[in-house]
Structure 1
Amino acid sequence: MNVRITANTVERTTYLNWIESLRDKHVIKVVTGVRRSGKSTLLKLYRQRLVAQGIPEQRIITVDLDLFENEELREKHALHQYVLSRMQPDGMNYIFIDEAQRCPGFEDAVESLYARDFTDVYVTGSNAHMLSSELATLLSGRFMTIPVLPLSFAEFSLASTEPDTQRRFYQYLEWGGFPEMLHFADNPQSMSSYLEGVYNTVLVNDVSERHAIRDMTALKRISRYMFAHAGSLVSANKIQGALTSAGHKISQPTVDNYIDYLTDGMLFYEAQRYNLKGKDYLKSLAKYYAVDTGLRNYVTGYRSEDIGHMVENIVYLELIRRRYPVLVGNIEGREVDFVVKEQYANAYIQVALTIHDAETLNRETASLRAIGGYEPRYIFALDTPATSSEDGIRYVNIIDWLLGKDTVLP
């Protein structure tokens, strides 16, 4: 894989600009994301921006709770006192607490710091439920979540020297977008080892230890099932049946809990089903998308027959990266891959590898035609130019869209 690193990082301008737009606003900035998605590096780049803009370094206070030397700060009173002792009285203090979930009760310390004058607080963590639910208990309406995903294809392309866009896309599809993967780009064995480390760290630190899971075998089997079926409709009942057939007895409530734990650890994102006719949510079945296709391929093995699901996974991640709420549509028994909730209307998307197969094209367009109305409808495919069909369906080239060359759903 031909990849270059610029100053050891890929500057993630979209995220940096988003964070900077919230600077000095009286809300806590909560930066979440799966481990190794680039949260710490992102805030390091942001701190460099602050210094470049004239903020004195003594007014920038950083605590990384993952570091062993900060172990004593994993107690809320010690954390609070450490930050207080370094605050400057003559201007805004920029406070960064990295991997806050390592400190039980961190939200009490954060609340106290937030309540003081001249504080701008930034918190990162690798557990979605902990950060959102526990902060919301104390600070409802006073914090904003900034979810950070691994590199987008556009960001990956900035670091790649592979001139062929198609080949570069399939590299991204296979190995994913964890930023540090770029350092091992010419060594597939090292890339696999790196992904193994990420996966095991999330399972142990962010899932098993936090929820005191005793049956690690079941957790790994459920995780593997969800990776293998990413982009397919699944349920706790289906997973329970699969494990029971394989000789591993487990209750459905336990499976439900384990699914929640894996999504809390941000290995997966849930897309709920939505009845387009009745305009309500369907409780049975949902789709779960992997946080990274490279991680998926590490767990399940790369298989060419899964490319369709992986491409759909990449489109889903890009939609939520662009801050769109995304659902899975159902209309009269037909599936619509994505219902994208825009401010004034919905947009409907079918994802396909090709539009040159008549059977596939008829199937994808049938679901969109069944929706009716005037809301935008799209078929995203790898082999189509940007065109419109006679029935108002817009064809979008996936790679062009990922690179920002097609401006639908920007």
Structure 2
Amino acid sequence: MNLVKRNIFGDVLNWLDDHRILLIKGARRTGKTTLLGQIRTHLEQSGKPTVLFSADQELDTPYFKNPKLFFRFLSDQYLPKDGKLYCLIDECQYLPDASLFLKVIHDLSFGKIKFIVTGSSSLELLKIKEPLTGRKIEFTLERFSFREYLQAASEYRYDHLFKIPQDIQALKEFYEIYRKDLEYHLISYLKWGGYPEVCMEKRDERKRKYLREIIQTYIEKDVSQFFRIENISKFNSLIRLLCSQRACILNRSEISNTLGLHFKTLDHYLSILEGTFVITLVRPYYTNVRKELSKMPKVFINDAGIIGNYVVTELQDFKSVEGALIENFAFTQLKQHDDTELFYYRTVSKAEIDFVLKQDQCLIPIEVKFRKRLTIPAVMKNFISNYRDNVEYGIILCQEDFGQIGQVYVLPVVLTDFLVLA
């Protein structure tokens, strides 16, 4: 079994000398506890005083009842006379009034104790009575990206990244060498998704059992107990419907009528699904922010395994993969780009570009054309022309073609997670 080095590991280490709380968020079972253990090992090997707590398992201990008591306990037992203590807290959403707890211990221990914490739900951590503004740096630990999955599944080493357009020739050679292996493993990735324990398991029957158990635990713990949702049947039906409508524009009115859900209830359920990292709602790109917020978003499912658990997907071979599933895959990889925002673009006449990647003022239009005749859509040409001061190039992600047409690079979709854009 290969040890998978997570993409954000180095990013977190780069902030260890900063005084703010490092908050690592992510869905259940994405490997936050494992990552925290790796950070602890790194700190201990560097000679740093380190202590690790699991809030969900130690919640009944006296020192977790009050942040001042917790600070006193750390000072008595672990804080060195000289130097800094690194305090790691797993599942911090179980702390009483988590944001207030973290604020108080951070302020009490400023400069003496560095806190690194994980949390499974952004929603609970965002219900802030005392804001952590200026006191935290946030990271999101996603499920395995395709490159991370390949570390676990492939016999080859895939530590390559390619800047576009500078490395286009090297990318082409890479594709020629590894194409068959990439396509073979993408089928499995689309079937099972990126939950680490599912990816690391070799036997299909156990993969299936692990995946079902992960989703069942999410429904029972997060949805039923944590957020006190009583109508679990309707909630499950909403997930199933969204999985069947992946990569589509979200029509709240239609969904409300189909499921018999009140608009407020539907919005509440959607906020839970987004806050617990099950779905992402992608807004349309407008220079007018008011328009962006008022228009309907597209819905994407953050893991292909969730889709496979709720709806049947045909995955006999690479070329037969359904287009919306490929678009959803492209989204899950593109969303992990650092310091970027992801939108879609739609004209009044309903011509659409699947994604617009925005970094500062730079825009990259990206279209997924997996089984269509390969041409540059007029809407992309117009977008590049209309935003010429902000667009250097566009990208079409396709099945197997590789080339360039004007300002547009045509690239195989299996390469999406290997691209450095903007």
Same fold at TM > 0.5: yes
Q: How does 1:160-309 map to 2 (within 5 A)?
A: 160-161=153-154, 164-185=181-202, 187-243=203-259, 249-275=260-286, 280-304=291-315, 307-309=322-324
SS at structure 1 position matched to 2:296: strand
5+ residue gaps in structure 2? 157-180
Q: How many angstroms apart in 2 are the aligned matches of 1:81 and 1:265?
A: 33
Q: Which residue of structure 2 lines up, in the alignment, with residue 130 of structure 1? A: 124
Q: Distance in 1 between matches of 2:191 and 2:70?
A: 41
TM-score, normalised to structure 2, is 0.84
2:106 alignment counterpart: 114
Which SS does the other structure have where 1:139 is aligned? coil
What pairs up with 1:56-71 in 2 under 5 angstroms?
A: 59-67=49-57, 70-71=59-60
8 Å CA contact retained: 1:320, 1:326: yes
Name the CA shift for 1:61/1:237 in 2 (closer, same or farther; >3 Å): same
Name the CA distance, whole Å, in 1 between partners of 2:187 and 2:246: 18
Structure-2 change in CA distance of 1:396 and 1:34 (3 Å): same
Contact 1:207 1:265 in 2 (8 A): no
Q: Answer with 109-118 or 25-34: which moved more.
A: 109-118
Q: Secondary structure at the match of 2:128?
A: helix
Give the letter aligned to residue 370 of structure 2: L
| Alpha-carbon separation, structure 2, partners of 1:133 and 1:319 | 28
SS of the residue aligned with 2:292? strand
RMSD over equivalenced CA pairs, Å: 2.3
Instruction: Tell me: CA distance 1:21–1:370, structure 2 relative to 1, closer, same or farther (3 Å).
Output: same
Identity of aligned residues (%): 21
Q: 1:196 to 1:328 in 2, by over 3 A?
A: same
| 2:61 matches 1:72 | yes
Deviations along 1:323-366, one digit per CA (max 9) or x if unpaired, are 22101111232111111111232111111214xx43xx34x622
2:11 corresponds in structure 1 to 18
Question: What residue number does 1:367 align with?
Answer: 379
Say whether the 8 Å CA contact 2:345–2:356 is kept in structure 1.
yes
Give the whole-Å Cα distance in 1 for the aligned partners of 2:5 and 2:84. Answer: 25
Deviations 1:184-210 (A, max 9, x none): 22x222111111111122222222322
Structure 2 CA distance, aligned partners of 1:282 and 1:23? 36
The count of residues paired between Structure 1 and Structure 2 equals 382
Counterpart in 1 of 2:150? 157
Quote the Cα distance in structure 2 between the aligned partners of 1:153 and 1:265: 21
Distance 1:22 1:367 in 2: 41
Asked if residue 103 in structure 1 is aligned to residue 99 in structure 2, the reply is no
Gaps of 5+ in 1: 244-248
Decide which moves more: 320-329 or 282-291.
Answer: 282-291
> 2: distance between equivalents of 1:192 and 1:297?
10
User: Does 1:51 find its partner at 2:51?
Assistant: no
1:370, distance to aligned residue in structure 2 (A): 2.4
Q: Secondary structure at the match of 1:90?
A: coil
The answer to whether residue 322 in structure 2 is matched with residue 322 in structure 1 is no
1:150 Cα shift?
Answer: 0.7
Q: What is the TM-score with the length of structure 1 in the denominator?
A: 0.86
Residue in 2 aligned with 1:246?
A: none
